[in-house]
Every structure is written in structure tokens, then in C-alpha cells.
Structure 1
Amino acid sequence: MSTFYKVLLVILDYFAHQRMKFVDHPDAGLSIERYLGKYDYPLEKHTIITQDGYHLMAHRIPHGHNSNGTNRYPIVFVHGTCGAGELFLLPGFGKGLAWYLVERNFDIWLLNTRGNYHSRKHSTLNPDVDYQYWDFSWHEVGVYDLPASIDYILNVTKRTKLFYVGHSQGSTEYLVLTTQRPEYNDKIALGINLAPSAFLGDGKYVVAKIISKYRRLFKMVMQAFNFHEIFPYNSNPYIRATLRYICSEVNTFVDVCNFIFNFPEDSLRVDPETFQLVFTYVPAGCSVKQLLHYIQVMETSLFGLYDYGPKRNKKLYGVTVPPLYLIENITAPTAYFYGARDIVTKPEGIGQLISRTKRSEVLKIDETFSHVDFLFARDVTQVINEPLYRTIRKYTSLVH
């Protein structure tokens, strides 16, 4: 695998520099340490151990250039499927949400959930040989990763509450946390969900529609071939490097990169060179079970716990069908930001979230905003960061 990718990269490098118009993003290929160091920002690495033994990496940016005082507000960022915490630093220096808030007196914590390349460690299990390591969906992230991380951050910062920002799967995990671990509602000053993914639609996404229809067959094939990890760790660097090269040629391949990120959508908001920076950090790896759980939600139109089949469901849940996540039980102040062109979450799904959440604030983004635009669009400062900051300011008095 590695030899193949090395050869492929040499070929792509030749054509990129000799035959094509190659665009280098100035920060592409930089690790988070070098990325933040280049712009003179502090970085701390924190290892958080969950109740079930997973070791998580959180990257902390304690202050910005203009906000190094002591009265800062802790805020944890949680990425989407196969993502990484660095995505909140996109679409580039000074533009992403994390850059924006660190200069407004926020203490930034970029969480990397179990299974991604930063958090691929366990107290007793080896992710390379023990399939049990990968026996988790986003449910376990919400039940174990988020509580451990919130408690750790509050202990370090000596606060009683923090702010939460989740994109896509990060919002799903927030809903799991606040419904399955209700005591954590009191530790959240405001939960912000970007492109919230709970009640899903697959009408326009052909791949999801096909997989949803053959979910059980897909699951059997994955198990038969012992596939438990999406974008395995050993091949991840080569996959990311290949995609960076492909997405550097702004004329020939930009439509391919657009398709990868927007499914059938064509985003007009993402600059072509941004893709090169994005693929510095993704794909970051995740569990097949996370995808299967989402496919279950698509297939059933129900936002419920993982379906193990009637017998195991009865043993685990006490009933033959998976229980539902009761959104009505969320008591933490919760904000939903959604795009009108987002095909992952259908409008009626957003309506269900809003109607069932007791303390909710809602912002609908304009008609051209899609699922990934929340992180990668060139105008995120005006469209997302500024209104999000105005929303957060209403709740800063809750952080003590």
C-alpha cells in the first residue's frame, strides 16, 4: 500500500509541476504544531482518558494575540465524521471559527474523538489488531468521550460551565450526550450545532441511498473482510497527500474535489486552494460502525440507538427495537445553525429538532449554504462567525 502511494505521488508531483497549473496553499502540509507556530499562537496538548479506556488528544489554544488575560471562556470544538480538530482552523489563518473566537477571549479546545489519527490509542486494546477497539459508533463518543473531555476541561480551567461547538457528527454526539447523560446539561452554557445531523434525509445523495437500502449486506461484507476502520491509519498520510496534489490543479480536478466534499452539490463558496489545506487534515480515520449507525437513521427515519438485532437489543436495552434519543429531555441552551442547501439534514429533520428542543435558538443560513460551507466557505466570518459570536455573548454570564 505504502509503495503504491509513494509511486503515485511521484507521478502526480511531476505532472502537477511540469504539466499543470499548480497552486500551493501557503499552509498546506503543516502539522497543527507548525501551523500555529507559524502565526505565533500557543499550543498545548492534553491527553484525556475515557471511562472505557480510550485516549483522546485535545489541542488547546489558551489565548490569542489580543486576548491573553485571565477571564477567558472555555469552548470545546467537536469535528464531524472522519474529521479532526484542525478543521475548525479552516479555511485559513484568521478566517476559521477557532481563529475568530480565540481573539475574543475564548479558551479554545479542539477535541479529537476516538479513532482519528490523534486519538488512536487505548489502555488495553491495540487498534491495529483488536477489532474490539473499533466497536463504537457516535453513541459511544457522546456517552464516553464528551463527558470525559468536558470534565477534564472544566477541571483545568476551573470553570463550572463551558461552550460547545459541534459540526455534523459533532452535533449528533452533542444530542447523545445531553439525552443519555442528562447531568451534563448543567455543564454547558450553550451548545452550538452547525449542520446538525440527527433526522437525516438521503433523497439527493445517491451513494447514501444505495448503502441505506443494502445496509445489512454492507454490514455483512465489512465483517466478513474484517473491515472495522474507515481510512486506515497506515494509508491515511498517502491518501491525504494524494488528494492534496489532485486538488492543487485548479482547472482540471477542482470539480472532483468539490464532489468529494459536497456530494452532489457544487459549492460556490469554497476557494479551490482551500481543498489543499483541508486534505492536510482529512480523512483522519473513523469507525465503520459510525457510518452504519447513520445509515440506520436514514433507513428508519428514526433517531435511535444502534440496532443490534432483536435478541441483542433485548439484552442491552430491555426491548427488541432500539430506544430513541429523547430530544425533549435536553435542558441546556442549544443553538442550531443550518444551511438551506444542506442535503445531509432535510428541512423537516431540522424542524423536528427545533420543535423538540425546549431552549433553542435557530439561525437559517441563506439558500446557497451547504454542509461543509460551515467550515470551508470563504465568507464564514460574515455568515457564521459573527452571528455565532453574537449568540454566544448572550450566555457568557453563565460561565463562572
Structure 2
Amino acid sequence: MLPQKLLFYSVLPILVLIFHPLYTQNNTCRTYFDYINIFTGDCYYNPDIDSDSVQVIQRYIGIHEEHTLQTDDGYILTLIRIPRKNAKEVILLQHSFLADSKIWVSQFNESVAFLFWRAGFDVWLSNSRGTFYSQKHVTLNINNPSFWNYSFHELGYYDLSAQTKYITRATQRAKIVYLGYSMGGTIGLVYGSTKPEEAAHLIKLAILIAPCSHFSPSENLLKFFVPLYCKIHEFSRSEVTAKIMPSVNWQWKIYKGFHFVFPFKKSLAYIIGLIHGWTPDESDPKFSHALLACIRSAVPLKLVLHYTQIYKSGGHLLMYDYGDKNLELYGQKEPPLYPLDKIKVPIFLIHSLNDLLSTPDDNEYLYSLLSDDVKIYGKLKIEGLNHADFAFGRHRNERVYEKILELLKRID
């Protein structure tokens, strides 16, 4: 039996190498079964998959701007703008974990960024530190471990602060609209709670879509990572504390190679269903490779560990646990909670009953912690979308983003 397995695992990569070039000629099909024969009229080559954000925007809109700014702790970020004269509002779109601005422009003409732009918005796309467009620092090189010494706290406290100030100056608008998806929701909560006065002065409305804020114990795959917490924590305090944890490693490249071959095509939908929630009707075959192409940003171990700490705490949005250094940094032995009740920016919360990462219970708990003053626009609870569907689901626009446009039109 063992020799047969060895033969199988030896031959399979060879087959992938043989057929992979064929599958990259036509990389998009209308159904999963169309991927069996990619040379039919139902399959085609989608150049967006191999393009970066700017190239995609130029292909569909024809205009863009790139703006660089520096954070207070020395990181140099790039904002991508799709400018609009006489815009109704200015909106900043904040990407999720492992992604960058490309996630907002990877759905052809249906892309969220284009939806807002065509509705009359001046659209700005965030690229948080460490992502494809934001890999510079005034003194640190990207290969320096110290470059990666940050969590989502710094993405909110420094990055979002610098971005909102820059955008309001560049557009000469008093306030902007902020839309954060997944980790983007976490970032918005960090900024709003740690710099409440500044945030309220610069942000008209914060739209939080499936924010990853509490991670209370639930039936998803995160619970399997908890036993590894102590080992990860011990490793993180060694000399390689901030060493980059790349999303595009050799295992990921192998999986992407296998994903091009039909028998493995639907594996991505099953993996997403296990982690994010089971919504098979939302899985769109034409976005299969586009979704993988968006998972390209490296992340620091510290950021992953911070989320793990929240899960291990029983679902409390705590500041980073530095162990023995907590007393020096926070004035107490345990890391403090983010003061969500101090947020002064109006919040419109959106979540799905089918989301296994940002669960309904977590969102209801989050909403209960906010003051009544910021809940003036209420919340939107939907069904049928999992966590990833907010970016790539078949009905994401009609169920989520068109509803947002309706709200923004009412409050304009």
C-alpha cells in the first residue's frame, strides 16, 4: 500500500505541472464542470487575476491616482484613489486579513469599488502596512524582523489615523465614510475607541461588515488552533518574534497549482465552507481563481497571535498581551479591553446569520457594547452569506452593498 501511495504522490505533481499551463490559458469558467474542458465557449482568460489593483482599475475605469503617506511610527503607505469630480461622498474601503486593495476590484464590473464609484463616490482603497503596495518604512527594510512587529492595533491606531487625515486634506472634505470588512472592521473599532475625538472629527459614518472583534467559542476551525496557542506564544517571544509569516509559501503555491486542475477545483469552496460558513449557492465558479489571487499579503505572527489571544480569552476584544511587560505598558497585569463604549463615530453594523467567523452572537455582543449615540443608523442582519461571500458571493451586491448605497443616499 505504501509504494502505491508514494507513486500517487509522485505522479500527481507531474500531472499538475503538465496541465497547469493549459489551465492558465483560460482561467475562468461559468460553472465548475466547465473547467473539465477549458477550451469551450463557457471558459475564457481573465487578465484581472494576474493584474494588480492599479492595472485592474485602469482596465475598467481608466483613471486612478496613487498617494503615499507616512504614519507616526514611520511606515510608508500607499492609497489608491478612483477620483470622482463633484463626488457625493468620499469613501475609504479597508481590506480584510491576508488581502489588500485588490479584493475591492477583483469582481469585474461588479467590483465593490466600481459600484461605489459609478454611484458618484470618490473612492479610496487602503493598503495596510506590509501589503503589496505598502512595504516601505523610513528606517526599516522589509527583510528586517522589526518591520513586522505589529498587530491590527497598529493598523487602526497608526495606519487608519494617517489615512483619514490624509484623505480629508487631499479632498478638502470635512469627513469621509469608512467601510471596513472583516479585519477592516477590527481596525475601525481600534481607531474609534483609542482615538475617539479624532475619529469622530474625521469620519462621518463607519460601516463595519462582518467585523472580527470577539471570536467567542463557536463551531468553526478556529477552535483547533487554540491548543497551539502556548507553543506559538513561546515561539513568538524568542529572537524571531516578528519574523514574517507569509501567506504565499511553498505549500500555498502547491495548492494554487492543484487548484487549476478540475478534480481539485471545488476544494476551495469546501474549505471556505468549513471555515467561513456553508453557503453553496453563493459559491461563484467564475471567481474561483480571482479569490485565490487576492490572498497574497504576508502577515506578521504578532497579528495572528493577537486574534488567537482574543479567542482564548473567551471572546473579549483585548489589547495585545505582552505578558510581563503589561504592567509597564498598560499599568496593569492583564491587557485592557478596547473601550468600545468610548466610540463617537456613528456605526452601521452588517453581519450574516451564516457567518462562522464573525458570528451572529459576536455581532450582537459587539453591538451591545456600543453607546446608543453611535447606533443611530441601526444594523443590517442578513441570511445566506458566509464570511467570504461579502467579497465574492453571487448576491453580495444586492444583499449588502446596494443596501449601503441606499443608506448613504438617505443620510446625505
TM-score past 0.5 threshold: yes
Alpha-carbon distance in structure 2 between the residues aligned to 1:55 and 1:7: 42
Deviations 1:341-400 (A, max 9, x none): 11112322111221222222210111x21101111012222111211111222333xxxx
Alpha-carbon distance in structure 2 between the residues aligned to 1:103 and 1:393: 14
CA contact (8 A) 1:201 1:343 kept: no
Return the letter of the residue paired with 1:271.
D
CA contact (8 A) 1:78 1:112 kept: yes
Alpha-carbon distance in structure 2 between the residues aligned to 1:35 and 1:28: 9
Alpha-carbon distance in structure 2 between the residues aligned to 1:33 and 1:339: 31
Identity across matched positions, percent: 26
CA contact (8 A) 2:68 2:77 kept: yes
Deviations 1:49-91 (A, max 9, x none): 100001111111113xxxxx3244111011111111111123x
**Residues 1:372 and 2:385 aligned together:** no
Q: Which sections of structure 1, spanning at least 5 residues, go unmatched? A: 1-5, 64-68
* 1:154 matched residue in structure 2: 168
Secondary structure of the structure 2 residue equivalent to 1:323: coil
Give the CA deviation at 1:275: 1.9
Give the CA deviation at 1:8: 9.7
- Listed as ranges, the matches of 1:1-400 within 5 Å are 10-14=17-21, 16=23, 20-22=36-38, 23-26=43-46, 27-63=48-84, 69-90=85-106, 92-128=107-143, 130-183=144-197, 184-206=199-221, 208-222=222-236, 226=240, 228-231=243-246, 245-249=257-261, 251-264=262-275, 265-268=277-280, 269-300=282-313, 301-309=315-323, 311-357=324-370, 358=372, 359-360=374-375, 361-366=378-383, 368-396=384-412
Give the CA deviation at 1:246: 3.8
Secondary structure of the structure 1 residue equivalent to 2:287: helix
Bigger relative contact order (CA 8 A; separation at least 6): 1
Q: For residues 329 and 224 of structure 1, do their structure 2 counterparts lie closer, same or farther at Cα, with a shift above 3 Å needed?
A: closer
Q: For residues 202 and 252 of structure 1, do their structure 2 counterparts lie closer, same or farther at Cα, with a shift above 3 Å needed?
A: farther
Give the CA deviation at 1:336: 0.7
- Structure 1 window deviating more from structure 2 (372-381 vs 197-206): it is 197-206
Secondary structure of the structure 2 residue equivalent to 1:160: coil
Alpha-carbon distance in structure 2 between the residues aligned to 1:273 and 1:81: 22
Q: What TM-score comes out, normalization by structure 1 length?
A: 0.87
How many pairs does the alignment contain? 377
Bigger helix fraction = 2
Alpha-carbon distance in structure 1 between the residues aligned to 2:79 and 2:252: 21
- Structure 1 window deviating more from structure 2 (313-322 vs 26-35): it is 26-35
CA contact (8 A) 2:156 2:191 kept: yes
Q: Which sections of structure 2, spanning at least 5 residues, go unmatched? A: 1-12, 26-34
Secondary structure of the structure 1 residue equivalent to 2:126: strand
Give the CA deviation at 1:109: 0.6
Alpha-carbon distance in structure 2 between the residues aligned to 1:17 and 1:144: 40
CA contact (8 A) 2:182 2:212 kept: yes
Alpha-carbon distance in structure 1 between the residues aligned to 2:80 and 2:24: 34
CA contact (8 A) 1:172 1:196 kept: yes
Q: For residues 243 and 213 of structure 1, do their structure 2 counterparts lie closer, same or farther at Cα, with a shift above 3 Å needed?
A: closer
CA contact (8 A) 2:90 2:122 kept: yes
Return the letter of the residue paired with 1:374.
F
Structure showing greater Rg: 2
Secondary structure of the structure 1 residue equivalent to 2:123: strand
